[in-house]
Amino acid sequence: MNTEVNLKARKLSNSQERKLLKLLKNAKMVGHGSSRLVFIDPRDSNRVVKVAIGANSFCQNKLEVKLWKNTQNPYLARIYEYGKFVVVMERVVETYDEDSFYEAYDPDSEDYEFFQKGINVVSWLEHELGSTSDNYQIGVNANDEWKAYDYGFDPERSTYDQCGDARWVDQVNCRAFLDEMERLVRFHRPITEIQRFVKSR
- The pLDDT score that the predictor gives to residue 3 is 47
Is the per-residue pLDDT at 162 higher than 70? Answer: no
**pLDDT of the residue at 36:** 85
Q: Are 64 and 79 spatial neighbours (Cβ–Cβ below 8 Å)?
A: yes
pLDDT at 49: 97
Class of domain 10-190: alpha beta
pLDDT at 144: 95
Task: Look up residue 168 and give its DSSP letter.
Answer: T
Whether the pLDDT of residue 180 is over 90: the answer is no
Query: pLDDT-based confidence at 199, cuts 50/70/90?
Result: low
Cα distance between residue 42 and residue 25, in whole Å: 10
Alpha carbons 201 and 187: distance in angstroms, whole number: 21
pLDDT of residue 160: 45
